[in-house]
Amino acid sequence: MAAAIDDAKFHAFVGKMLGDLGGAMSVPTVRLGLRLGLFDALADAPATAADLARRAGGLHERYVREWALAQAANGYVDYDPASEQFSLSPEQAMVFHHRDSPVYLAGAFELVAAMIEAEPKVEECFRHGKGVRWGDHAGCLFCATGAFFRPGYVNNIVQAWLPALDGVEAKLHAGARVADVGCGVGFSTLLMAEAYPESSFVGYDFHEPSIDEARRHASEHGLGDRVRFEVATAKHIAEQGFDLITMYDCLHDMGDPRGCAQHMREILTPGGSWMIVEPIAGDAPAQNMNPVGRLYYNASTMICVPTSLDQEVGEGLGAQAGEAKLTEVIRQGGFESVRRAAEGPFNMVLEAR
């Protein structure tokens, strides 16, 4: 016989599901609002739907009104029924308007869309156990990923993560050679290059369209030949003699992270440092049953595990591997010391020497 339903638990669970579904259904309308400039237009001043439609460049009022009411129901914009005006609070603007805010979430919504687009490919993986090539996931997974991580990098790499490493900041100010491995579209590389004008930087990634995009970004920054971007798998980077190697949110995506660790040891100078930024996670899955772990486990199922399983070895660390497992992988490369140098709500920063 089926177990009896606990009414209170049942109502609480269905209430949670309603909230979750509302969040899921907000994905397309939020993306429309970001692309059509509706959140930006609201950041200037409160507006009725008609004002907002005009301010956003002459959109159709009926659509804008429904969109604005949806965002008000989401709690993503405020609504004053008396004046029928919509507005963006300072807190909402941090999420939907200010590009350099640590919680600007446009990239997160793009990432969700990319995960949904790649669903049939990942479904097949569950049957055959193989993977999905990074470039085959969805139209622009790589742009979404760059946009998703950028706010965290803008607010942490130079301010907190690099200074937490042993003696690295001084080397960067004096002039160091840096490799940013798995650099994607290059935001991390360019942020470092702008902050340390005496140093030179090479961004490596095995995905050619990402490197093309990184080169395009670099050309907009005018950093000259201090920054280069090259297509290479982490294990086959030919240049050597780097004082610092950085890996931002990518070691767990690699098929052979142990082999990569070994190669990183080989291409570093003897006193060099390797900084590995990875999603924050406890060592036991039970420690990750929280909102951040929830995001990462879902993304990992759809993106990180298929990406790793598509490559040689196919270790499939997953985005919630945890510090103990990562340390073991890194040590296999011949690194004597691995420590957690810094952490934030979304990332941990490991330093290997």
Ligand X SMILES: C[S@@+](CC[C@H](N)C(=O)[O-])C[C@H]1O[C@@H](n2cnc3c(N)ncnc32)[C@H](O)[C@@H]1O
The contact set with ligand X (CB under 6 A) reads 134, 145-146, 149, 182-184, 188, 205-207, 210, 233-234, 248-250, 253-254, 307, 311
Instruction: Return the number of the residue (256 or 351) whose C-beta is nearest ligand X.
Output: 256
Give the sign of the dihedral formed by CA 92, CA 98, CA 104, CA 108: positive
Instruction: Return the number of the residue (86 or 148) whose C-beta is nearest ligand X.
Output: 148
Residue ranges of the alpha helices (H) in the chain?
7-35, 38-44, 49-55, 61-74, 90-96, 106-117, 119-128, 141-156, 168-174, 187-195, 208-221, 257-267, 291-299, 305-309, 323-331
Instruction: Return the number of the residue (33 or 146) whose C-beta is nearest ligand X.
Output: 146
The least CB distance from residue 124 to ligand X, in Å, is 20
Give the whole-angstrom CA distance, residue 44 versus residue 67. 18
Instruction: Return the number of the residue (86 or 149) whose C-beta is nearest ligand X.
Output: 149
User: DSSP assignment, residue 288?
Assistant: G
Instruction: Return the number of the residue (83 or 298) whose C-beta is nearest ligand X.
Output: 298
The least CB distance from residue 302 to ligand X, in Å, is 12
The least CB distance from residue 305 to ligand X, in Å, is 12
The least CB distance from residue 182 to ligand X, in Å, is 3
Grouping H, G, I as helix, E, B as strand and the rest as coil, residue 338 is: strand
Pair type for strands 78-80 and 85-87 = antiparallel
The least CB distance from residue 335 to ligand X, in Å, is 18
Give the whole-angstrom CA distance, residue 227 versus residue 113. 32
The least CB distance from residue 41 to ligand X, in Å, is 28
Instruction: Return the number of the residue (177 or 207) whose C-beta is nearest ligand X.
Output: 207
The least CB distance from residue 311 to ligand X, in Å, is 6
Give the whole-angstrom CA distance, residue 288 versus residue 80. 39
The least CB distance from residue 297 to ligand X, in Å, is 15
Question: Going by C-beta distance under 8 Å and a sequence separation of 6 or more, which residues neighbour residue 310?
Answer: 130, 131, 132, 133, 134, 255
Give the whole-angstrom CA distance, residue 181 versus residue 264. 9
Instruction: Return the number of the residue (59 or 211) whose C-beta is nearest ligand X.
Output: 211
Asked whether 94 and 101 are in contact (CB, 8 A), the reply is yes
Neighbours of 41 (CB within 10 A): 23
Give the whole-angstrom CA distance, residue 180 versus residue 162. 13
Instruction: Return the number of the residue (64 or 234) whose C-beta is nearest ligand X.
Output: 234
Give the whole-angstrom CA distance, residue 259 versus residue 257. 5
